Amino acid sequence: MKLRHLTFRLLEVYVATVRTGSVTAAARQLHLTQPTVSQQLKRLAEAVGEPLLQSGAAGVETTEAGSELYRAALDVTGRFDDYQDYLAELRGGRRGHFSIALVNTAQYVLPRLLGPYSRAFPDVDVTVQIGNRQQLLGRFDRQLDDIYVFSHPPSLEHALAARFLRNPLVMVAPENHPLAQRAEVESTDLARERFLLREPGSATRMLFESWLQGQGVQLSGILQMASNEAIRVGVTSGMGLAVLSQHVLPAVNPGLVVLPVRHFPIESHWYFIVRRDRRLPHAARGFLRFASDRVEHCLPLEYVRNEIPSLLASLGATAESSAS
Amino acid sequence: MKLRHLTFRLLEVYVATVRTGSVTAAARQLHLTQPTVSQQLKRLAEAVGEPLLQSGAAGVETTEAGSELYRAALDVTGRFDDYQDYLAELRGGRRGHFSIALVNTAQYVLPRLLGPYSRAFPDVDVTVQIGNRQQLLGRFDRQLDDIYVFSHPPSLEHALAARFLRNPLVMVAPENHPLAQRAEVESTDLARERFLLREPGSATRMLFESWLQGQGVQLSGILQMASNEAIRVGVTSGMGLAVLSQHVLPAVNPGLVVLPVRHFPIESHWYFIVRRDRRLPHAARGFLRFASDRVEHCLPLEYVRNEIPSLLASLGATAESSAS
DNA sequence: AAGACTCATAGATAATTATCTATATACATA
DNA sequence: TATGTATATAGATAATTATCTATGAGTCTT
């Protein structure tokens, strides 16, 4: 039996013939002529190597090999119908998997989108990667994830970016700090303060340093700490000052005050980034759609800045209809 | 998704690729060149409408749509492997169905072949039809059965025949009948006897009548009875004489004697008959093979005359390799 | 015996497939 | 940075497929 040249179309024709019990009726059903169907059936029988049909009273009836083939054909087409259903779910973004990579800071806000999303799409598996900016840039280069959340997008040559949330950076101090009493703090006041900063390359640090440069101020004492949490606790216990994303601070933060520094807060934004060259899984696209629809409900309205629609639009224009 | 042009060959190529995780390796395995495989995969992906593979570390790996397709492909090819197994059994005559039609007389001997056959091939369904010669000829014309057993073959224009068993016709009388005492009975002695005969057209009757004609004898009293059993009992109880197949008589037959009529017994044979124009099911062929092999063991050796091998040979020559 | 159906066969053709060789591109590793 | 290894693309071609129209050949039903 030469299965190789057996097509699903052939099985379809065969099934229609057996169902109707007539070559002519099958031809009508499939919008073919009767000889076409006859010939297809002949080819099929040749492929199987056994007669499948014999002329019966009215029309044709199956031989033994034929009725077993009919069963097999139904099973097979049924299995593929299931596969089609699966594909439909995949395409609709209702099933599947995607991976999203967050810079540390973003882990304070993204769950408020990802949580509702997971509840709405329980059949989608989401992998969340968290790392510092450096690590994420590495992952981005190696194309390990589908969506990235940066506070400052990398080179846009290979990527598309859309802001979705303001990320104001504020300066915090322990509540008993001398500057905490002032109505306004000048940049020059900061020169002799000790600062707790994230590692170089961190977006927060980069922005702060470029702000300092703009102000012509040079810091004296710097203490590098690996995590925002550690910094917050460090500030509270009087180790120094820090610049942090406002989202990192709890709603009430006993022991900490935000300093009224002139030209603060430093405005920045979080971006959703997707690679231009990598095909976005349907589920990832579904998440972006979801985020675009719901970001106003899931996150504080005054921070939202929803540019996702234009990102989706550019995606729709490029990534559609590319295969393997 | 256009399933229609999807072939099993394509799935085979795909499965090989996923298994080996490499286009090149799959190509080697299938004795194709690498570009051929690449192109097949491309076609497959187009048919599905989703990318199925993406370049991974070494070789390729499946996308989500791809791994589900892999599962589907395995299911489908597995189902067809089952079907192939079924076909193999069918072809080997180990499974399936056939129908055999016997003239009444033959029902005394055929079970001795059919019984052992059914035990040896429990997965074959056999339909046994029994009727008088007239009925069987009707079935033969309408091509209702696969094998016929006649004591006298019909026109051989559309049929092949093979003797397998002698069928001597003997004349029986009640044991107290005057002729039963004689050392030899002449045909002329029969003219005034009453005979119990089967219906006209019955092979036994035809042969007896043509024997009578050859002897120039005309019978006076005829009593027609529908069954051999009835005739046997009728003879025993003194209603008259009869000509019966020797096989119809029990080994010991109290009350009955076989008359030593000159030129008796009338020699005849049973034939297996198959139609030339009708494809013989594998199972039917299997039965003939079995009968040919075992007829000497299943039936009294002195009656056997096995011409089945030449029947099988002519079948092999003609009926092979015809489809639908 | 003529009609009306059903299915099969023949011949034709445009489209598609299967397959190759040659070449380009991408990536990893020495 | 060169060099091999893996995959993709292009161009070519023979084979196969899908499909048609026209026609032949069996069966029933009048």
pLDDT digits (tens, 9 = 90+) for B122-135: 999 999 999 888 88
Instruction: Write out the two tokens for A142.
Output: 């190696």
The predicted pLDDT at position A147 comes to: 94
Which residues on A lie below 8 Å from B87 (Cβ)?
A: 1, 48-50, 65, 68
Nearest chain A Cα distance for residue B183, angstroms: 58
B8 touches chain A (CB under 8 A): yes
**Residue A186: is its pLDDT beyond 50?**
yes
Looking at residue B266, the DSSP 8-state letter turns out to be B
Domain coordinates of chain B in residue numbers? 3-91, 96-166+269-319, 169-258
A87 touches chain B (CB under 8 A): yes
Q: Which CATH architecture has domain A169-258?
A: 3-Layer(aba) Sandwich (3.40)
Give tens-digit pLDDT for A42-52.
989 988 888 88
* B116 CB and strand D closer than 7 A: no
Beta bridge pairs of residue A124: A96
Length of chain B: 324
Helix (H) or strand (E) holding B128: strand B124-131
**Which phi and psi (to 5°) does residue A157 adopt?**
-60, -45
Report whether A300 contacts A112 (CB < 8 A).
no
Beta bridge pairs of residue B271: B150, B163
Classify strands B194-197 and B221-224 as parallel, antiparallel or unpaired: parallel
Name, in order, each residue with C-beta under 8 angstroms of A311's C-beta and a sequence gap of 6 or more: A160, A161, A162, A272, A274, A288
- Among the partner-chain residues B48, B63, B79, the one whose CB lies closest to the CB of A72 is B79
The predicted pLDDT at position A1 comes to: 54
- Give yes or no for a cis peptide into A265 (omega within 30° of 0): yes
The superfamily CATH assigns to domain A96-166+269-319 is Periplasmic binding protein-like II (3.40.190.10)
Which residues on B lie below 8 Å from A87 (Cβ)?
A: 1, 48-50, 65, 68
Distance CA B35, CA A211 (A): 56
Instruction: Write out the two tokens for A135.
Output: 């690590």
Nearest chain A Cα distance for residue B184, angstroms: 56
- Which CA distances in Å does A199 have to A152, A205, B73, B154? 15, 7, 50, 103
- Among the partner-chain residues A82, A96, A324, the one whose CB lies closest to the CB of B52 is A324
Distance CA B280, CA B143 (A): 11
- For B192, the 3-state DSSP assignment is coil
Q: Which of residues 205-264 of A touch B (CB under 8 A)?
A: none
**Residue B148: is its pLDDT beyond 90?**
yes
Give tens-digit pLDDT for A194-253.
999 998 888 889 899 999 998 888 888 888 988 888 998 899 988 999 999 998 888 777
Give tens-digit pLDDT for B267-278.
999 999 998 877
- Among the partner-chain residues B48, B65, B80, the one whose CB lies closest to the CB of A3 is B80
**Which phi and psi (to 5°) does residue B265 adopt?**
-70, 160
* B19 CB and strand D closer than 7 A: no
B94 touches chain A (CB under 8 A): no
Give tens-digit pLDDT for A136-150.
888 887 778 899 999
* B138 CB and strand C closer than 7 A: no
A62 to chain B: closest CA residue: B324
Distance CA A230, CA B308 (A): 96
B89 to chain A: closest CA residue: A65
* A43 CB and strand D closer than 7 A: yes
Which residues on B lie below 8 Å from A75 (Cβ)?
A: 79
More reliable by pLDDT, B252 or B257: B257
**Which of strand D's nucleotides are less than 7 A from any protein C-beta?**
6-11, 16-23, 28
**Residue B324: is its pLDDT beyond 60?**
no
Identify which of A55, A111, A36, A169 has the alpha carbon closest to the alpha carbon of residue A298.
Answer: A111
Distance CA A148, CA A275 (A): 9
Name, in order, each residue with C-beta under 8 angstroms of A161's C-beta and a sequence gap of 6 or more: A150, A153, A271, A272, A273, A311
* A56 CB and strand D closer than 7 A: no
**Which phi and psi (to 5°) does residue B245 adopt?**
-65, 140
Which residues on B lie below 8 Å from A79 (Cβ)?
A: 72, 75-76, 79
Alpha carbon B258 to its chain's center: 34
Report whether A87 contacts B47 (CB < 8 A).
no
Distance CA A87, CA A89 (A): 5
Q: Find the Å distance, CA of residue B41 to C1' of nucleotide D16.
A: 19
Which residues on B lie below 8 Å from A96 (Cβ)?
A: 64
Output the average pLDDT for chain A: 87
Look-up: residue for tokens 């700090």? A177
**Residue B250: is its pLDDT beyond 50?**
yes
**Residue B322: is its pLDDT beyond 60?**
no
Identify which of B256, B257, B285, B259 has the alpha carbon closest to the alpha carbon of residue B272.
Answer: B285
Q: Find the Å distance, CA of residue B8 to C1' of nucleotide C23.
A: 30
Burial of A216 (0-12, 13-18, 19+ CB in 10 A): exposed
Distance CA B243, CA B65 (A): 78
A81 touches chain B (CB under 8 A): no
Highest mean pLDDT among A280-294, A303-317, B138-152: A280-294
Please name the residue ranges forming H helices in chain B: 8-20, 23-30, 34-48, 64-91, 111-120, 133-141, 203-215, 228-236, 282-298, 308-319
Q: Report the half-sphere exposure of A187 (CA within 13 A, side-chain side).
A: 17
Identify which of A62, A73, A66 has the alpha carbon closest to the alpha carbon of residue A9.
Answer: A73
**Which of strand C's nucleotides are less than 7 A from any protein C-beta?**
5-11, 16-23, 27-28
Report, as an integer, the average pLDDT of B257-284: 89
Give strand letter and number of the nucleotide nearest B53 (CA to C1'): D7
Distance CA A305, CA A302 (A): 8
Distance CA A316, CA A310 (A): 10
CATH number of this structure's domain B3-91? 1.10.10.10
A64 to chain B: closest CA residue: B96
Instruction: Write out the two tokens for A306.
Output: 């929803």
pLDDT band at A102 (very low <50, low <70, confident <90, very high): very high
Give tens-digit pLDDT for B19-40.
888 888 899 988 998 999 999 9
A324 touches chain B (CB under 8 A): yes
Report, as an integer, the average pLDDT of A187-200: 88
On the question of a common fold for A3-91 and A96-166+269-319, the answer reads no
Identify which of A48, A14, A44 has the alpha carbon closest to the alpha carbon of residue B83.
Answer: A48
- For B250, the 3-state DSSP assignment is coil
Nearest chain A Cα distance for residue B316, angstroms: 15
- For A167, the 3-state DSSP assignment is coil
A84 touches chain B (CB under 8 A): yes
Identify which of A171, A177, A169 has the alpha carbon closest to the alpha carbon of residue A239.
Answer: A177
Instruction: Write out the two tokens for A123.
Output: 């059949």
The predicted pLDDT at position B139 comes to: 85
Which residues on A lie below 8 Å from B83 (Cβ)?
A: 68-69, 72
Give strand letter and number of the nucleotide nearest A39 (CA to C1'): C8
